[in-house]
Structure 1
Amino acid sequence: MLGTDGSDQVAFLVQTAAALGRAGGTDASRKAAVQFIGAQTVLCYGASGWAKLAGPVWLNGDALVKILRTETYGDKWLFEQLSKYPAASRALCHLVLALEAGFPLLLLKRGKYIDLGLVVMAGFHLANARFMGLSRFAWAFIATYPAVRALAEGREAEALPPVKRGAA
């Protein structure tokens, strides 16, 4: 896919789906676009967590220390803290696994807990922005949350209003 990282890919996907939903010119096409955007976000989180479960580095708690020691995604202070307290590193790795792999469960019960889940994931992205320099991920994913919420609640989001034709 085009783009240099996952945030570019998410932004491209959202913009393309929104454009196609609006281009369709019907409530059904807009609703399909919103549902697609929501489903893709849920799939992104779930797949990321499930992929991490396959390797031992996230399960044993070493992943964040290894990531944070790099020049690209590193943060000296957090690296030192997690190196000093391996139990905290393990707990944080397990929390990331639970949040991502478990995210699709928020669709159950017509999104009863979706608002809490989205607030937690927004916090996750803001922490990644601060400590790993991944601010574009925060904006790209948080922008999809109205669609995720609509999907979970089984309704159309107000994210894609109809395009008014003939207005100058």
Structure 2
Amino acid sequence: MSFDTALRLTECLMALAIIQQSLEHRATERRGTWMFLLRIALCLWLLMGLMPGAALACLFATSLALLHRFQGPYNGGSDKMTLLILTCLTAARLAPERYAELAFAYLGAQLMLSYFVSGWIKVINPEWRSGRALADVFRFSAYPVSEGLRALAHRPRMLWLGGWAVMLLELAFPLALLHPLALMAALTLTAAFHFANACLFGLNRFFWIWLGAYPSILWLQSRLIG
């Protein structure tokens, strides 16, 4: 995948994710929606591909305004990833040409670390190693989990296997950079993991925005081993 193709694909995927986030806010909150309407308009501008650097700079400004408005990320980890992608894309478009690839490579590296660090934090936690942490997710989670799914908390062997499968996938993710087929397999599995979280817990924002960063690591791998 070429640099220009990966950069443009990331811009489009991020724009669609921000539109989804903004529409979600509009459906649940009526105050201060003008900022989210502005972000939708800026994303449509970005999707058209006209002066993408300017569109990204304006989106970055609205993100800073939202950080001030909500005293931090509006929706936790998904907003942090959104801001990371937006920052790297803005730098790639507006920085001197010799730094553009470096900014985009930083995004790919951070995506890799997001999985590895998550796996490391889990594996050093005895509750995750025993399966209790995952059982508590189903037993006490405030997310809209059905009663049928809550019953999974009483299946410790399955949850132990599921927890270790997730931890091993996240810890082994950096090794996928060694071969294109391995990376495609790893990205398919992590996308399935995010999709499962969206279906089970309603974490739909994570699914769309993490997928938006995938072109960066595909390009990074081709740059490293090509």
* Among candidates 79, 102, 125, match of residue 32 of structure 1: 102
What is the letter of the counterpart of residue 170 of structure 2?
E
Deviation at 1:135, TM superposition (A): 0.7
Superposition TM-score, scaled by structure 2 size? 0.63
Q: Which TM-score applies when normalising by structure 1?
A: 0.83
RMSD (Å), alpha carbons = 1.7
- Asked whether 1:119 is paired with 2:188, we answer yes
Whether contact under 8 Å (2:135, 2:152) holds in the other structure is no
For structure 1, which runs of at least 5 residues remain unmatched after alignment? 156-168
Identify which of 128, 141, 151 aligns with 1:58: 128
CA-CA distance at 1:112 after TM superposition: 3.8
Partner of 1:134: 203
1:77 aligns with 2:148: yes
Q: Which one of the candidate residues 98, 102, 114 is aligned to 1:44?
A: 114
Deviation track 1:115-156 (CA, whole Å, cap 9, x = no partner) reads 11101100000001111111111111110000111122226x
Q: Which amino acid aligns with 1:143?
A: G
* Structure 2: distance between partners of 1:70 and 1:23: 46
Report percent identity of matched pairs.
Answer: 32
Higher RCO (C-alpha under 8 Å, 6+ residues apart):
1
What residue ranges of structure 2 are gaps of 5+ in the alignment?
A: 1-66
Residue of structure 2 aligned with 1:100, choices 166, 170, 178: 170
Structure-2 change in CA distance of 1:145 and 1:12 (3 Å): same
In the aligned structure 1, how far is the partner of 2:140 from the partner of 2:212?
28
The residue aligned with 1:7 is 78
